Amino acid sequence: MIILGVDPGLTRCGVGVIEAGAHRRLSFIHVDVVRSSPDTSQDLRLLAIYNGLVDKIERFAPDTVSIERVFAQSNHNTVLGTAQAAGLAMLAAAQRGIPVALHTPTESKLAITGNGKAEKPQMERMVARILGLNEPPTPADAADALAIAICHALRPQGALQGGEREQHLTAAQRQWALAAQRSKRRHGTDRGM
């Protein structure tokens, strides 16, 4: 399964592509950042991000697009641009009939490190280790995009429904599943999970 991860942003939109093989073996395929200039009007910036995302989707033909879920920050302009970029990624995938998954940064941290409060350097090192890279990808947006793709690949499938599946999960995956369940209960939905 090819997974294209997106760390949405209006200035820098991270894109990471991995392959999830048998026994959750993950392989690095591609990482990049789609950029738009802050000196350009908003509509043209959105067009640049959209065109860049479409190019990546068409080039790598992913089975799933995994996007970092936008969360509220104190800077409303940043949240707006991030939400718009996430929407563009969802649109580009939907137009091609590709399923979309949304994952929070906490879910990503839990899936990769087992710690929902892991710092960026730890995440970047673990992304490199998981994918067999000699060094963490740069810039941070690129590493975050790969982390979102890895998160989707490692997500527990039916983990808390009992039975044999739960026995085959790592401790980090069990924590991830518990956090995902708590989040669903808190928000009253499981859309995008």
Rounded Cα gap, residues 182 and 42, in angstroms: 36
Q: Is 190 a catalytic residue?
A: no
Given the residues 7, 107, 124, 144, select the one marked as catalytic: 7
State yes or no: cis peptide before 105, omega within 30 of 0.
no
Given the residues 68, 107, 124, 144, select the one marked as catalytic: 68
Cα–Cα nearest to 15, from 45, 47, 60: 60
Rounded Cα gap, residues 171 and 189, in angstroms: 25
Q: Is 32 a catalytic residue?
A: no
Asked if residue 141 belongs to a known ligand binding site, the reply is yes
Given the residues 107, 124, 141, 144, select the one marked as catalytic: 141
Q: Is 55 a catalytic residue?
A: no
Asked if residue 68 belongs to a known ligand binding site, the reply is yes
Angle 130-127-56 from CA coordinates, rounded to 5°: 105
Tally Cβ neighbours within 10 Å of residue 130. Answer: 18
Pairing status of strand 12-20 against strand 26-35: antiparallel
- Binding residues for Mg(2+), by number, are 7, 68, 141
Catalogue the active-site residues.
7, 68, 141
- Binding residues, by number, are 7, 68, 141
